Amino acid sequence: MMISVAINEKRTVGVRNPMIYGHFIEHFHRQIYGGVYDPGNPLSDEDGFRTDVLDAMKKIRIPILRWPGGCFVSSYHWKDAVGSHRTPYFDKAWRVEDPSTFGTDEYIKLCRKLGCEPYICTNAGTGTLEEMSDWVEYCNLENEGRYAKWRIENGYEEPHKVKYWSIGNENYGSWEIGAKNADEWGRLVREAVKMIKRVDPSTELSAAALSDTDWNLKLLNACGRGLDWVSIHQYWDPLSQNNNPATYEQCMACTKNLSRQIDDVRGLLTVLHLEDKIKIAFDEWNLRGWHHPKVAVAVNKEDYLTPRDENDDNSTYTMADAVFTACFLNTLNRNCDIVGMANFSPVLNTRGCIYSHDKGIVLRSTYHVFDLYVNYLGDTMIDLWSEDSMPSMKICNKKGESVTVDTLDLLATKWSDREGIAIAAVNKHPDQALEIAVSGAGSGAVAEAKAFCIEGNGTDSYNDIGRNEVYIKERNLGRYEEGMKVRLEPHSVNVIQVLPCR
């Protein structure tokens, strides 16, 4: 099947913030300890950070890294994990002892090594407003107050200059330690904003929101003018209790209405005339939810700790994850006027795009999607349309319901600092190729075209130790001509570049 696609590169739709390609890391399972932070491992540097993991993270140019949680943060007290005398504590969220050897200063050091912005999520569960603002004082004040002086005593003369802070995590949820109702949340966030901004008015603050009118109205009416961001989260294949990952077709069913939460929050911000003041931070997202069964009820550790190893089964992360991730990144780009930040959850191990083991790393299918979008797409969204009917397919979702979804997901971009265009083209169909005919991409100049493709031999292709089935392939398409035809293989993610000849 062939679909004609037209591009108007003179019509700019929006300019994305690079922070939509952000990531997240939490004190859960092997993300921190035995993951990115592994002192004593031959692959670790003098500060205990895995150099192979850092190199992989640098390649996808992580712009912002959210930490320390997640549910972990709602019983986390940052003062236990700075200075020379660290206090191990029992993490009530995940029911393990945290040694506190990785704390604020180590996290900042990690961000500096990566060249990314830090984004700290504060404890709005068991923590206090004063504890939140003390943390900002420790990180951002030059030398005023006991906590800035404490940072200096700990060997950090210059402030850490953390600009982005989140007030709490998913405090609307019954699963969260220190959950709040809508009235409580609005009041708490209002006072937290007041205290943090009085320590450092240059901070940018987010707070947990939902696509729920009552929750958001009470939050925004209480402190909308003090917030810079609202935070939303979503996992489309929830697996917390039962690790039965959705099939390829079931994952494609999840791509229907991917922008629903964004649309809901956008509408409310617009009604309240806050759309120019507050942006959306989609600061926790992934196709697959984390597996952590019986964490609140199991007596025996093997019943709630051992099953977490199932998150690190690399055969789980197939072309389904790659195709879904590309579709969601297209959604974020299309909504770049209101979504200014997003954080893939997590970056390493668990459901991350990188998997580490004692002797090296595996780059899962989703890693290569970030590589494509960060390093091969433009930063400016431009107009793309087709007069042809978009192909669609009927599939069943995980509930067994029939769902009709578009088979093709397209996004057109250009660069703000150089000539050329790049099209993201996702073919969701499990076994049928598509062909697009592209017009309007050459600006009348002589141009060459290339395609960079993630395909896999089948929908269940995956990468593992000694197994590399999913990676970026480059194809030279030759001289660009109007109506140029490009084949999109089944279950594939593609970036088509049309660049002027040098």
pLDDT at residue 210, rounded to an integer = 86
The token duo for 423 is 């099209």
Provide the phi-psi class of 135: left if phi over 0, else alpha when psi is between -120 and 50, else beta: alpha
Pairing of strands 408-414, 380-385: antiparallel
Per-residue pLDDT tens for 1-46? 899 999 999 999 999 999 999 999 999 999 999 999 999 999 999 9
Lowest mean pLDDT, pick from 201-205, 443-447, 481-485, 486-490: 443-447
Judge whether 253 and 395 are in contact, CB under 8 Å.
yes
Does the structure show a pLDDT above 90 at 213?
A: no
Whether 116 has a pLDDT exceeding 70, the answer reads yes
74, 178 in Cβ contact below 8 A?
yes
With a cut of 90, say whether residue 118 has pLDDT above it.
yes
Q: Residue 213: which of 165, 261, 252, 258 has the closest Cα? A: 261
Residues of the chain with pLDDT > 70: what percent? 100
pLDDT value of position 342 = 98
Of the candidate ranges 99-108, 210-219, 259-268, 368-377, the one whose mean pLDDT is the lowest: 210-219
Q: Return the pLDDT at 444.
A: 67
| pLDDT of 1 | 81
Sequence-distant (6+) residues with CB within 8 A of 253 are 395, 396, 397, 398, 403, 405
CA distance 229 to 204: 8
Q: Is there a contact between 139 and 162 (Cβ–Cβ < 8 Å)?
A: yes
The pLDDT of residue 443 is above 90: no
pLDDT bucket at 418, cuts 50 / 70 / 90: very high
Phi, psi of 169 (to 5 degrees): -120, -120
Q: Which two tokens stand for residue 409?
A: 């997901």
Q: pLDDT tens digit string along 321-347?
A: 999 999 999 999 999 999 999 999 999
- In the chain, CATH 3.20.20.80 covers 17-376
Mean pLDDT along residues 303-316: 98
Q: How far apart are alpha carbons 243 and 497 in whole angstroms?
A: 39
Q: Is the pLDDT of residue 68 over 90?
A: yes
CATH fold, domain 17-376, is TIM Barrel (3.20.20)
Residue 445 pLDDT more than 90? no
pTM above 0.85, yes or no: yes
Q: Where in the chain is the domain with CATH 2.60.40.1180?
A: 2-12+379-500
CATH T-level topology, domain 2-12+379-500: Immunoglobulin-like (2.60.40)
Q: Tell me the two tokens of residue 420.
A: 């050329």
| Average pLDDT of the segment spanning 445-454 | 94
Quick check: 212 pLDDT over 90?
Answer: no
Mean per-residue pLDDT, 462-484: 97
